[in-house]
Amino acid sequence: MYYINKIVGFLVSPIGGAIAGGVLAVVCARLGRKRLAKWIGGLTVAWLWLWMTPIMTWVVGVPLEREFLVDGRVPMVESFPEADVIVLLGGSMGIETNTSSYAEMATSADRVWQAARLYRAGKASKIIATGDYARDTTLPLLKEFGVGEEAVSFLDARTTEEEAKGMRGAFRRRGAETQSPQSGVKPKILLVTSAWHMKRARLMFEKYAPEIEVVCAPADFENMFMAEKTPLFKMLLPDPNVFMLNSVAFHEWVGIVGYTIFR
């Protein structure tokens, strides 16, 4: 199912749609339907161009992040409540290749720094880091940010669904160590992930871990920053970095809509 989801996700992505359009245009040309091939080719180019523009960031990216702002600004860690544990979702670090002695950060590495900030602010005494390689990649960076190794535990998971299900099981196993001592009170987590991913992550936790109280503590407001720094005259100019952001946002909306329909 994991690989099927990945394949389907690619096929319905902007680049997947462009590849499908290109193949269809070639097939039509081979069959002698040259006029149709030109129309399909032109639409494919327009499709790609549109997804490379900042105006699409305002359409698909900014709405993912806007609700997590407070008075139009990224919330400070001091504004978050104390919780039983900080849950740091994976996907922010490069895979360990033994080519460097230092932690290799991906574009979403602000997640790790956010978790460290919350920990150092005393919002929780434990961090659970998810992902296949969290012990080898996330932990070294957390240690550089002043988090003690004894405060970090790990959860192997490849998808957001697996992370939510895994956290539900982790709370059941950890029992009194992580749950609130007050009878009838849900265990509370500070959920740390990129702002553009938070909406879908919250949906997954609501579905698969309803007994956990989730407080969203997002980092990495990439779409907001990209959209706001782009001048008006560049809104329809293509940019490969913008294309990457828009493709990720499109993937998030596909997951959100799919979850909402089939929940």
What's the pLDDT tens digit per position in 81-113?
Answer: 999 999 999 888 876 666 777 777 888 889 999
146 against 3, higher pLDDT: 146
* CATH code where residue 89 lies: 3.40.50.620
> Which pair of structure tokens corresponds to residue 254?
């596909």
Range of the structural domain that residue 205 is part of? 77-220
82 and 59, same structural domain? no
| Average pLDDT of the residues of the chain | 88
pLDDT band for position 181 (cuts 50, 70, 90): very low
> For 180-209, what is the mean pLDDT?
86
17 and 130, same structural domain? no
216 and 142, same structural domain? yes
Can you tell me the distance from the alpha carbon of 15 to that of 60, in angstroms, rounded to the nearest whole number? 16
Q: How many residues does the chain have?
A: 263
247 and 138, same structural domain? no
182 and 114, same structural domain? yes
159 and 40, same structural domain? no
pLDDT in tens, 51-81: 999 999 999 999 999 999 999 899 999 999 9
41 and 116, same structural domain? no
Of 208, 202, 259, 189, the closest CA to residue 65 belongs to 202
201 and 105, same structural domain? yes
pLDDT for 178 equals: 42
Is a pLDDT exceeding 80 seen at residue 212?
A: yes
The number of domains in the chain is 2
Query: Does residue 62 sit within a domain?
Result: yes
Is a pLDDT exceeding 80 seen at residue 148?
A: yes
pLDDT for 238 equals: 93
42 and 83, same structural domain? no
Quick one: angle between helices 134-144 and 110-120, nearest 10?
A: 50
Query: Does residue 102 sit within a domain?
Result: yes
pLDDT band for position 176 (cuts 50, 70, 90): very low
Phi-psi region of 126 (alpha: psi -120 to 50; beta: other; left: phi over 0): beta
246 and 127, same structural domain? no
